[in-house]
Amino acid sequence: MIDDAIRVLAGDCTVIAENGDREEYRGRVTTIVKPDNTVLVHDSDGYQPVAWLTRADSVSSDRAGDFTLLAKKDTQTLRIAAHEQDGFAHYPASAAGTPVGTCSDCGGTLVRSSGVHCVDCGTRYGIPSDATIRDGQCDCGLPRMRVERGLAFDVCLDRSCESLDVAVREAFDREWDCPEPECDGDLRILRRGGLIAGCEHYPDCDTGFAVPAGVVDGECGCGLPTFETRSGTRCLDATCERGLARSLEAEPAADD
């Protein structure tokens, strides 16, 4: 199902906005109530709303007499009374994004916007923000994506079909030694919010590093791998002075 609906009221309305001061308007306007309770009142003049209330705490309606919408947020109120109603309706709504493929559940269009979702049935797939959606399809019918986490991985955008975590773990689990002095542990690939390389002896050793978006291109002087990222070369340990120095050397000089 679509996530939510946009409510629209159009007609000859009185609009009263109060936030300490009181402002009143009258005219043929269209009021839009978005799924997050943002209320926008538009007239025929210009692009800016006549009145608005962002993310109201509550939006209520009263159909007795003049149709009325009342939005409240803290000390602010926005009241719209329709003396002559041209229309009132609920329309299905979803986030809009760049088309990237076809939904394998319903055949609807998949778009990328804070992840990937279907504009028809609302099915969602969480993907890394740096992922690139590829032209090819997985055997399940969904698009594939390219994600750099030490290597460039080509996986299905549905984690239950093909897991990026598993691919990174197979490539790098126990590949690097824990750099903590007197610790003989290996770094395991784990998910703790994001993917990390963390010492196998946790909690006795709490050493851990977020796996950066980039490809391993060598070894830092501290013994950990270096990654080629969009901003330059860096050590797995983002605080490593040797890695930071190399990253700065790799960055192009700023234009004068």
Instruction: Give domain status of residue 256, yes or no.
Output: no
Alpha helix segments (H runs only) across the chain:
164-172, 241-250
pLDDT at 254 over 60: no
Residue partners of 84: CB distance under 8 A and separation at least 6: 11, 12
Q: How many domains, in total, are found in the chain?
A: 3
Range of the domain at 198: 170-250
Q: What is the mean pLDDT of residues 157-171?
A: 94
- Neighbouring residues of 81: CB distance < 8 A, sequence distance ≥ 6: 13, 14, 16, 66, 67, 68
Q: CATH number for the domain including 31?
A: 2.70.180.20
Say what the pLDDT of residue 172 is.
96
Do 178 and 144 share a structural domain? Answer: no
Query: Same domain, yes or no, for 120 and 145?
Result: yes
- Please say if the pLDDT value at position 139 is more than 70: yes
Same domain? For 224 and 155 the reply is no
- 15 and 89 in a single domain? The answer is yes
State how far the Cα of 95 lies from the Cα of 110, in Å rounded to an integer.
11
Domain annotation covers residue 31: yes
What is the secondary structure of 169-184 as a DSSP string? HHHHTT-SB--STT--
Among 61, 93, 125, identify where a domain stops: 93
User: pLDDT category, 15, cuts 50, 70, 90?
Assistant: very high
Pick the last residue of a domain from 93, 122, 146: 93
Question: What is the C-alpha to C-alpha distance for residues 162 and 117, in angstroms, rounded to an integer?
Answer: 17
Cα separation of 53 and 60, whole Å? 13
- In angstroms, the CA 225 to CA 150 distance is 9
pLDDT of residue 242: 59
Give the end of a domain, one of 93, 124, 145: 93
pLDDT digits (tens, 9 = 90+) for 26-46: 999 999 999 999 999 999 998
State the Cα–Cα distance between residues 222 and 176, nearest whole angstrom.
12
Classified as helix, coil or strand, 109 is: strand
